[in-house]
A = this chain, B = another copy of it.
Amino acid sequence: MLTLASDFGTPYPAAMKGVILSRTDAQLVDIAHDLPRQDPRAAAFWLRETIPLFPPAVHLTVVDPGVGTDRRAIAVRVGDHALVAPDNGLLRPVVRRLADDTDGDPPIAAYEIAVNDPASTTFHGRDVFAPAAAEIHERGVDRIAESGLLSPIDLDACVDLRFPTPTRDGETICGEVLVVDDFGNVITNVPGAELSGVRRATVNGVAAPVVDTFDRVDPGDRLLTVGSHGFVECDVNQGRGDEAFGLAAGDTADIGVGGAD
């Protein structure tokens, strides 16, 4: 199995699929090709939330604002999974999650992918990452180290990318918006447990009820809930939370839980 994720829109992913299927007989599964464009941090959130749900596979992930620069192309093995990506931090959160989810002590190893000529300077998805993912799939993840395309490197020397940890100031949890989803739901980095027992809270001063399902408020009304990823979300029933709360990815989200409930 080989999954694909990118911010390439359409029809560029088809070029990657053609390259892969010309080299290996794989079941292809699209994760998404409209990951947050040129935003490795937001894209890394979605990879962390989706890839660990899959059985062992090769995962081709490309959100690559630095394409054509000297940023490295890397592959990382975590147990029976292998991931291929630009070295911009995109992989680090999902690699940590995969390692945490695996019983025992899974083999983890990082490799630099050789960029062979003639690679285009603008479409390494087709010219570098897809061939590498196909090569790893064809060979088998457990034999990744034998690939002539790959040279061992230190994972700790790869670019890291960590989501911020919220801090607490009295009855305010000082958080941040990680991503806004396709529905306009605003996903923060504040763990859902912070809302345990809270019936009403504020986000940057804007009050909303804390509920467990959208329909507990009228259509068009704001709500706070613990989303499917386990974090506090700022949403609107049948509407867009990002617009109602005035929030975008990267914004501060100070959540006040001290109000009388």
Contact = CB atoms under 8 A, between A and B. Distances in A.
Interface of A: 1, 3, 5, 8-12, 14-15, 17-19, 21-22, 28-32, 34-35, 37-38, 46, 49-55, 65-69, 120-123, 126-127, 181-183, 212-215, 225-228, 238
6 contacts: A10-B182, A14-B29, A18-B55, A38-B238, A121-B212, A123-B228
A50 B212 contact: no
Contacts of A68: 212-215
Given A5-B11, A68-B212, A126-B228, 6 more contacts: A1-B21, A8-B182, A10-B182, A11-B46, A22-B55, A67-B213
Nearest to A32: B11
Nearest to A38: B238
Q: What 3 A-B pairs have minimum CB-CB distances, sorted nearest first? A: A18-B53, A68-B213, A123-B228
Contacts of A1: 21
Contact of A21 (B8, B29, B227): B29
A122 B228 contact: yes
A198 B91 CA distance: 37
A215 B50 contact: no
Given A68-B213, A214-B67, A215-B68, A18 B238 contact: no
A215 B35 CA distance: 20
Given A11-B35, A65-B238, A50 B18 contact: yes
A15 B228 CA distance: 11
A53 B121 contact: no
Contact of A19 (B14, B29, B53): B53
Contacts of A14: 3, 5, 29-32, 50, 53
A73 to B, nearest CB: 14
Contact of A10 (B3, B28, B32, B38): B32
A57 B19 CA distance: 13
Contacts of A53: 14-15, 18-19, 22, 126
Contacts of A238: 38, 65
Contacts of A69: 213, 215
